Structure 1
């Protein structure tokens, strides 16, 4: 194996290990020391953010919850670089999932989209495009990965899906990466502010979704 490839594999393995540690920490309530984790990733070098983008993309495809990826990005890279890496990674992963669903499933489900509720949703996505995707991304209760595959089955245009995803994931991603970067040091006021930063876009997404459903009839 060439040295360059070997180094890339080691870096990817390191970041996957960090992600696993973070996931276990979040699920068990025991989070690792932020400075220690950042030190681990520092050994991966300047390419670490790009490797993390690839990890986020792959995680999105296999339905790893986006909040976990975002928190990991904040812990590893801080709020700014972490948010940028997560947004780029999950957008790439969303596009990959969309493409798989569009290529393998769209023709199979097309007959179901010709009438009834599915048809109304399909027309809504085609007509509203970017705004419909943004509204869905604003809703924290809607699974990120499932939306990717479902959108691929619909008649939604690829460009609208990508733009809507890249824009719609920003608010929650910024909140989660900032939270990840501040684990163990956040005050009650900061936690409340973080909750509001997620809640406000969620309400906006709910309003947009209801309005679109009424419009679709």
Structure 2
């Protein structure tokens, strides 16, 4: 409400509650409206969101998740599958699928794949064990790749400044399928390291999964067969599987030693 015209001065005065529009209509003089200032809470929320979504915050979250998963695996002791077996309520195809899912989660938590492959053979035999182990391998690699791509790529890519790091990134980004296939076939390349290196590069998810599935067949099959025939260590199948595990490992160790020796001599 506007007050009446001031009887002493004859000018219209507005009460403190009068709006800018009412003053303009009454006096004929344009009065600018007072701008609404943003509340401090909105600004604080925006700053917190920027900090939480920053590359280094996401990388810290990834490290925390992986550390928590590895700690959980130490407490759960998945290697007991070799002695205790699966729960009695699981059987048939459901048991294989459940094992593949557990296998994938365990690989993300840095459980060694040889233990899981041996357990797959001991629990399900050669054929079903190989299917479950390969399924878990691809699942675990995909989970690690997606976590690394979503939480770690933006923070780690600016750190790729060394000559060897740039060369590896260029190889994975330009020739992803071929490079990852070779990494899976070569026994000396750590599984988890190759997952996160591929995630930091610009390699696509589909070539990564295809190369992982195909390249993991020989080594995985050798461990699964060894686990399935562990009760008969003198059988030809067990001895062949043991040779397929030992010989590539020795070759990989020799190649790695020679590469390291050449780098030192340069």
Query: Common fold, TM-score beyond 0.5?
Result: yes
Among candidates 40, 65, 79, match of residue 20 of structure 1: 79
Is residue 53 from structure 1 mapped to residue 112 from structure 2 by the alignment?
Answer: no
> Where does structure 1 differ by over 3 angstroms across 4 or more consecutive aligned residues?
17-20, 40-43, 188-192, 198-204
- Take 1:202 and 1:137, find their aligned partners in 2: how far apart are those partners? 16
- Take 1:188 and 1:43, find their aligned partners in 2: how far apart are those partners? 32
Match of 2:121 in 1: 74
Q: CA deviation at 1:115?
A: 5.9
Distance 1:79 1:202, change over 3 A: farther
Distance 1:53 1:202, change over 3 A: farther
Match of 2:167 in 1: 120
Gaps of 5+ in 1: 1-16, 24-31, 211-217
- Take 1:122 and 1:141, find their aligned partners in 2: how far apart are those partners? 19
Gaps of 5+ in 2: 1-75, 260-266
Higher RCO by CA contacts (8 Å cutoff, separation 6 or greater) = 1
Q: What TM-score, normalized to structure 1?
A: 0.72
Spell out, residue by residue over 1:102-154, the C-alpha distance to the aligned partner (whole angstroms, 9 max, x if none).
11111112223366221111111122211211111122222212221221111
Number of residue pairs matched by the alignment: 179
Contact 1:22 1:72 in 2 (8 A): yes
Return the index of the structure with the highest Cα Rg: 2
Match of 1:184 in 2: 231
Match of 1:101 in 2: 148
Distance 1:177 1:85, change over 3 A: same
Contact 1:74 1:83 in 2 (8 A): yes
Match of 2:90 in 1: 44
Q: What TM-score, normalized to structure 2?
A: 0.59
